[in-house]
Amino acid sequence: MTQRSRKPVQDELTGDLFASLPEKEDVVLPTDVTGMLALLARWHEDGWLRRIDLELAHFLAEGAEPSPALLPVLLAAALCSWQLGRGHVCLDLQAVLEQPMQVLSIPVEPWLQTLTLADWQAACVACPSLVAQPSAMGPEDEMSADGARTTPLVLVQHRLYLRRFWQYEQDVQQGIRQRLMLPGLSGEEEPRLQEALVVLFGGPGSAGAEHAAHAATRSVHMAGMQAAGAVGDAAAEPGRRADWQRIACALAARRRFGLITGGPGTGKTTTVIRLLALLQWLALAGQGQFLRIGLAAPTGKAAARLGSSISSAIDRLPLKDVPQGEAIRAAIPRSVSTLHRLLGSRPGTRHFRHDARNPLPLDVLVIDEASMIDLEMMAQVMHALPPRARLILLGDKDQLASVEAGAILGELCAHAREGRYWPETADWVARVAQEPIDRGLQADGAEDGTLLDQSVGMLRHSHRFGADSGIGRLAALVNDGEVARVQRLWDEVQAGGASGQVPDIARIEVDVERWAALRQLVVHGRLDGVPADQGPVGYAHYLRWMHQNRPADEARLDDWAAGVLQAHGRFQLLCALRQGSWGVDRLNRQIALWLQSAGLLVASEGWYAGRPVIVTRNDYELGLMNGDVGIALAAQGGRLRVAFPAEGGSHGIRWVLPSRLQAAETVFAMTVHKAQGSEFVHAALAMPAELSPVLTRELVYTAITRARRFFTLVGPGGLDGVLGQTIRRRVLRASGLMAGVLQARD
């Protein structure tokens, strides 16, 4: 092949992938193994493949019989590995051939033009020592004693997997399927479920002490409606909005697998706590003993956030007048663990202490922020959870998918907005939960809707963001890809100013040469025209609080540290990228310099009082997980120690010497991925000037919804540039999770 004389030109942010495209005469696939490996090596040099992708191709070539079919298989394997690194579970051969650049984000289209799907599939079939097909697998292809498989690749129709990830997908499918097929309630438990729902949620359309009388009247009314064959919409009271917290709770109790999804402020935590109270109520009445319940989240930050919010939700449960109500309340756990801690991580291995041979001692497991769970971790959960134990996933389906391969919650809740409930499901909800499911959310026919859809409850009303909330409106428009309407909203913000109708969102246009507005934002938080005592804060707020409230009494250091951490959580700058002018690395350095020049920090490098840090790797010895955030503080004798919130959302503090933190970095700026599971009073998103594969509407939506009261968008250009293109792009990860039996009706 003709050697290219020029090297790729690397853009500061994403790299100019097209700079080293070959001349037309170069665009041919090699005809031998040496040539194919050389081509893949060139792609690696150009930044189109990772080292591990190239090494996989070499590994497969070394042990395979030379044949013409081997070349397309080596190509597919390298691309499959590349896609895995980008979060895809498999390589969709058909999609790659139809839209290579959109699917792969690397410009390899010229070399694929001579391939067809049939030829690619035939090549895989012709290499049985490398590629297996599930329909052709025999006993010799089963798992061996050491866990090794006989072929590294698996082909399922047009999807090519690394075998390990195909197995993970099978394990997750099986775990979900077996729980969907198991009833969560017996017929005699339904009246108790109805009673519990009335106590926990009040009578439909009402609340408070009158629920019992209302429930009795309602039950008679519903019985009459059912006898007349009129349920669903006919049972709805005119003008009354369905209580989707109540419906989601009932649906999750009905089977042993449930999903509760919803945007920020829709009451996911409240709903799941009421669900747990309901399950304990039923267990006590039916079995005379309580269920063993576990609460978990993917990261330490998410676990701490859930832990801090569940205690008040448990305390608010209306169980005072319920027989053994206080015992039910006490049977709901208040501590939350990370999934790694729950499963019992074994450092240096992929294995956990809890697995199928040593299952978790649980009857119910609730996982919050489930959008962050990758396929491998979900498979480990399925291995460790007893087959009859309930699994409840909680989260926002529209947030970013996991950093690693898979988009579990997004795929499972793909039809949550449409509902697709069967008529029998709607009838059951009307009878037991005494709530109507609108006919627009019911399945059109017998072929529409799946068994999985019947276990998905989507919370549809935000209690945090009202109709006049700029944050709520912006998040919804971005989530729907409505670029033109987003522009109209920004026009409204600009026209109204800080005291206008949408004072909770703002936009700052800056570039890498003019950062004065960005400095004002991150240091002080206030925007032009916003009163200092009313507007959002920047990092000066927590640093001043740290300096002004340092206790003389060493016994109060924990309270002081907790206050500093809380004050720090009032503002966070989020970034889409790690590298480049608008990346985390540069902004962290710049912000530290700004704060030092403002007299708020004594240094901008190394360890100094006030430095916020994020843990970047699990440290089981210290009990710190990837994503945990702490702040370096001057403790006894002025010696620096790093304060982290105690595990599970308790109010305690963990003090760690800086020298023991081997994997931590400054976090004035944080990637949006790292911010998942966190919320801040004021969140700002720094958008880069150039488009990157990581820029999607899910990223922008996730950033917006990290803000509780104020959101600021920072960056160059407007919606006619990178921002508009980003909002139009969705995360579409290749997988087969929803294929096959998981889609079955019964």
pLDDT 10s digits, 557-594: 888 999 999 899 899 999 988 888 888 999 999 999 99
Distances (CA, A) of 489 to 244, 404, 463, 495, 500: 28, 34, 21, 10, 12
How large a percentage of the chain has pLDDT more than 90?
44
Instruction: Give pLDDT, residue 260.
Output: 95
Tokens found for residue 199: 């106590």
* DSSP code, position 487: H
- Taking 90 as the threshold, does the pLDDT of residue 250 lie above it? yes
- Taking 90 as the threshold, does the pLDDT of residue 228 lie above it? no
* pLDDT interval class at 59 (50, 70, 90): very high
Q: What is the pLDDT of residues 283-322, one digit of tens each?
A: 998 888 999 999 999 887 788 778 878 888 998 999 888 8
Instruction: Give pLDDT, residue 531.
Output: 56
* pLDDT interval class at 15 (50, 70, 90): very low
Q: Which range, 192-201, 235-244, 724-733, is most confident?
A: 192-201
Q: Taking the mean position of all CA atoms in its chain, how far away is CA 675? A: 10
Tell me the CA end-to-end span of the chain in Å, nearest whole number.
55
Q: Which residue has the higher pLDDT, 740 or 112?
A: 112
Separation between Cα atoms, residue 413 and residue 401, nearest integer Å: 12
* pLDDT interval class at 446 (50, 70, 90): low
> What DSSP element (H or E) covers 506?
strand 505-509
Distances (CA, A) of 720 to 289, 486, 513, 723, 729: 61, 11, 21, 7, 14
Instruction: Give pLDDT, residue 518.
Output: 87
CA atoms within 13 Å, Cβ hemisphere of 337: 13
- Taking 90 as the threshold, does the pLDDT of residue 8 lie above it? no
Q: What is the pLDDT of residues 592-645, one digit of tens each?
A: 999 999 999 998 888 999 999 998 887 878 878 778 889 999 877 778 999 998
On whether the CB atoms of residues 425 and 456 are closer than 8 A, the answer is no
* pLDDT interval class at 647 (50, 70, 90): low
Least confident of 101-105, 334-338, 635-639: 635-639
On whether the CB atoms of residues 28 and 19 are closer than 8 A, the answer is no
On whether the CB atoms of residues 259 and 459 are closer than 8 A, the answer is no
Least confident of 62-76, 179-193, 365-379, 531-545: 531-545
Instruction: Give pLDDT, residue 743.
Output: 52
Tokens found for residue 363: 């009857």
Label residue 487 exposed, middle or buried (CB < 10 Å: 0-12, 13-18, 19+): middle
Q: Which residue has the higher pLDDT, 175 or 403?
A: 175
- Taking 80 as the threshold, does the pLDDT of residue 658 lie above it? yes
Q: What is the pLDDT of residues 483-500, one digit of tens each?
A: 889 888 888 877 765 445
Angle at 462 (CA atoms; ends 461, 463), nearest 5 degrees: 115
Q: Which residue has the higher pLDDT, 507 or 384?
A: 384
Largest CA distance in the chain: 85
* DSSP code, position 2: P
Q: What is the pLDDT of residues 525-562, one digit of tens each?
A: 865 555 556 678 899 999 999 999 888 877 788 889 99
- Taking 70 as the threshold, does the pLDDT of residue 142 lie above it? no
Tokens found for residue 669: 């700026």
Q: For the residues 516-531, what does the mean pLDDT come to?
A: 76
- Taking 50 as the threshold, does the pLDDT of residue 12 lie above it? no
Parallel, antiparallel or unpaired: strands 153-156 and 629-634? unpaired
Distances (CA, A) of 478 to 249, 465, 676, 731: 28, 15, 17, 13
Instruction: Give pLDDT, residue 54.
Output: 95
How large a percentage of the chain has pLDDT more than 70?
84
Query: Tokens 């007349």 correspond to what residue?
Result: 228
On whether the CB atoms of residues 465 and 264 are closer than 8 A, the answer is yes
Strand, helix or coil at 237? coil
* pLDDT interval class at 649 (50, 70, 90): low
Q: Which residue has the higher pLDDT, 103 or 23?
A: 103
Q: What is the pLDDT of residues 424-442, one digit of tens each?
A: 999 999 999 989 999 889 9
